[in-house]
Amino acid sequence: MKRIVIFLSFIVFLACKEQPKEVTTTSIVGTTIEETLSPKDNFGIVIHGGAGTILKENMTPEKETAYKMKLEEAIRIGHTILKNGGTSLEAVEKTINVLENSPLFNAGKGAVFTNQGTNELDASIMDGSTLNAGAVAGVKTIKNPINLAREVMLNSPHVLLSGSGAELFAKERNIETVDPSYFFTEDRMRSLEKVKETISKKEADKTTAFYDHTIKDSKFGTVGCAALDKHGNLAAGTSTGGMTNKKWNRIGDSPIIGAGTYANNATCAVSSTGWGEYFIRAMVAYDISALMEYKGLSLKEAAKEVIQNKLTKLGGTGGIVAIDHNGAITMEFNTAGMYRATMNATDELTIGIYKKDE
Ligand code: ASP
């Protein structure tokens, strides 16, 4: 009997020793299953701070350094989260927060002005592991719209909330709000005045004039992030003030799932920036994923096809940053420049602004 007890204890000891170190419990439709998390070494993150007519000759060395420093600060926040085993969703949100809090970018603090001299902000976020998504459009008092988008995704039965309803939801969920004057910056006000001046001089059709000028003079400046975490989950998010001089509660692509943001663990995570109307019509972010899913294209091939062929033929300008389920990163744009940065699992950092930085 004693021998049997010793033998059984030995078996139990062996069984315990065999246990993997990292065990997590996942609940699936009421049934609790145990699965082993085997953290992959592969993870990565890519960000953009807008695409447009960004030319070296129009940039001062100080400004260039300021942009690069902010891009690096932001991407390092997300990279550290991923490195420590955090989720891609958290990395995307926290990285975007840094860019939203900077007046350099057209999101949060640096949002551009509407025709009425107000600021209306849009944002969206998507979880590639569940295809769950959240977005807000036309909010005026939300300090970090990406946080509200995440809240919509996690704590509401909806995907997209707008205007005063979104603000009410923010209040209920204790999301930080600010006085609309928080979004005032001299730079953005000057841009609005310049656009209005040019339009009033033009005899041409007002709609065309509005867009023509905005595209030529605006650096866009929307911010976005796509990330793959160690658990193999992809996420993407985008935040913006929209386009200078926008009217009639215009909403761009940034809060539109499939246009401005898309993430699917089976394919990739994408964040867009550029002339929103075209990105909506071309369903840019989803189209890249769909080419991978249905046609077996690589992320690079898919992004190239959508940006350089489809979007360009339509007349749209802008770009995307994306990462696939294997950690491969792609940045594709058809403008003179795009503020961008990448970091991978080996801590390698790249920062680019102009086309030739590729
Ligand atoms: N896509 C944004 C919009 O149309 C603008 C931008 O990317 O800067 O609202």
Residue 226 near residue 45 (C-beta atoms within 8 A): yes
Token pair, residue 230, equals: 């160690």
pLDDT digits (tens, 9 = 90+) for 143-160: 999 999 999 999 999 999
Q: Is the pLDDT of residue 68 over 90?
A: yes
Q: Ligand 1: does its nearest atom lie under 6 Å from the Cβ of 238?
A: no
Res 222 pLDDT > 50: yes
CB-based contact 193:211 (threshold 8 Å): no
Is residue 266 within 8 A of residue 307, CB to CB? The reply is no
Say whether pLDDT at 1 is over 70.
no
The domains of the chain are located at 44-357
Q: Is 342 in the pocket of ligand 1 (CB under 6 A)?
A: no
pLDDT, tens digit (0-9, with 9 covering 90-100), for 118-137: 999 999 999 999 999 999 99
Banded pLDDT at 14 (limits 50, 70, 90): very low
CA Rg value for the chain: 22
For ligand 1, what atom is nearest to the CA of residue 220? 8
225-276 tens-digit pLDDT = 999 999 999 999 999 999 999 999 999 999 999 999 999 999 999 999 999 9
The CATH homologous superfamily of the domain defined by 44-357: (Glycosyl)asparaginase (3.60.20.30)
Q: What is the pLDDT of residue 314?
A: 97
Is 221:110 a contact under the CB 8 Å cutoff? yes
What is the 242 CA–ligand 1 centroid distance (Å)? Answer: 5
- List the catalytic residue out of 114, 141, 214, 222: 222
> What is the percentage of the chain residues whose pLDDT exceeds 70?
83
Q: What single-letter amino acid sits at 209?
A: A
pLDDT for 41 equals 77
Mutation to probe ligand 1, out of 136, 188, 273 (largest number of atoms < 8 A from CB): 273
Q: What average pLDDT does this structure show over 288-316?
A: 98
For ligand 1, whether the C-beta of 221 sits within 6 Å is yes
Please indicate whether residue 36 is annotated as part of the active site: no
Q: Which residue has the higher pLDDT, 83 or 33?
A: 83
